[in-house]
């Protein structure tokens, strides 16, 4: 059977940067094993399979796979697929809002597309808030895994911690961009986690961070841009930063060490000292399209 697919680069406005994504648009009839095999064939950090929604008021139902496993939710597949679906439906105009059904729940998206049909920008609100999963491993354990010194682990008030938004992450602060760039990819001590390294961005303004994400246990040695980890990072900021009530915009740069620079916009809304909502946003651009014969 012929099935349409499109590849996009996500969290970037430039082709051949950001995080590549494959989207299979005609996924009805594929079982889980077939989807996993196709994701292995594409061998990108994630592949999305688009199916009709279970409720007509939503735009589509999505299943998301890394080369090694299915995910209940992921950020760059949500942004890229939202932009692509908006481009597939020009009758709705250049700006639109819809819900995407993912394993984590309904993900509300707002999309603006480019007039030339080459891409656009999307943002989405998490259907759940980040969950604190406990302290992270001690620096003496993490440093050898990463090829760093224990003194490289930690920055300001930050210490290793674990947070999740469906996918879970061991979040590791490092003291400098030099240490961040020197870290070697490793698997988190908890095999269910990705390993998310972060440090303040000396070139940024306000709340700006440089990050890397390793997940060889998911089939992804290093990811150029990780929206789910950025979502979990909202929990890190709530734990270690003195953020007051209001809306806080956070700039995240990822993929620099891979030659795939990416920019993720994270927004936190805090009311009465509690986190009330988390939004992730970014750009996506179409790279290629074709047909699968499976």
Which residues participate in catalysis according to the annotation? 46
The maximal CA–CA distance of the chain, rounded, in angstroms, is 57
**How far apart are the C-alpha atoms of 56 and 48, rounded to whole Å?**
20
Instruction: Please write down the long-range contacts of 269-273, taking CB distance under 8 Å and 24 or more positions apart.
Output: 270/238, 270/243, 270/244, 270/245, 270/246, 271/245, 272/245, 273/245
Q: Kindly give, in sequence order, each residue whose CB lies less than 8 Å from that of residue 43, ignoring residues fewer than 6 positions away.
A: 67
* Cα–Cα distance measured from residue 42 to residue 284, given in angstroms and rounded to the nearest whole number: 18
Among candidate residues 237, 268, 275, 251, the one with its CA nearest the CA of residue 157: 237
DSSP lists the bridge partners of residue 210 as 199, 253
Backbone angle region of 91, left / alpha / beta, with phi > 0 → left and psi within -120 to 50 → alpha: alpha
Length of the chain: 294
Query: Do residues 121 and 111 make contact, with C-beta atoms less than 8 angstroms apart?
Result: yes
Q: Residue 92 is encoded by which pair of tokens?
A: 């709705």
């Amino acid at each position: 059977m012929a099935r349409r697919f499109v590849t996009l680069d996500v969290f970037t406005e430039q082709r051949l940067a950001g995080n590549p994504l494959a989207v299979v648009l005609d996924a009805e009839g594929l079982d889980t094993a077939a989807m996993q095999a196709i994701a292995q064939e594409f061998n990108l950090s994630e592949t999305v399979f688009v199916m009709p929604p279970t409720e007509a008021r939503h735009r589509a139902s999505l299943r998301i796979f890394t080369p090694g496993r299915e995910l209940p939710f992921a950020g760059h597949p949500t942004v890229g697929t939202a932009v692509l679906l908006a481009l597939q439906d020009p009758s709705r105009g250049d700006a639109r809002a819809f819900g995407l059904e993912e394993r984590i729940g309904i993900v509300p998206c707002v999309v603006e597309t480019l007039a030339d049909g080459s891409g656009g920008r999307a943002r989405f609100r998490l259907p759940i808030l980040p969950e604190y999963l406990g302290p992270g491993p001690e620096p003496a354990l993490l440093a050898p895994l990463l090829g760093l010194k224990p003194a490289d682990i930690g920055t300001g008030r930050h210490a290793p911690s674990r947070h999740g938004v469906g996918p879970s992450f061991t979040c590791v602060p490092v003291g400098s961009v030099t240490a961040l760039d020197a870290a070697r990819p490793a698997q988190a001590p908890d095999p269910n986690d990705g390993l998310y390294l972060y440090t303040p961005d000396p070139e940024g303004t306000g709340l700006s961070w440089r990050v890397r994400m390793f997940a060889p246990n998911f089939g992804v040695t290093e990811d150029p841009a990780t929206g789910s980890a950025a979502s979990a990072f909202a929990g890190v900021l709530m734990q270690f930063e003195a953020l007051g009530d209001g809306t806080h915009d956070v700039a995240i740069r990822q993929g620099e060490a891979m030659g795939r620079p990416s920019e993720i916009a994270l927004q936190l809304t805090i009311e009465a000292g509690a986190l009330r909502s988390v939004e992730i946003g970014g750009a996506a651009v179409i790279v290629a399209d074709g047909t699968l014969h499976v």
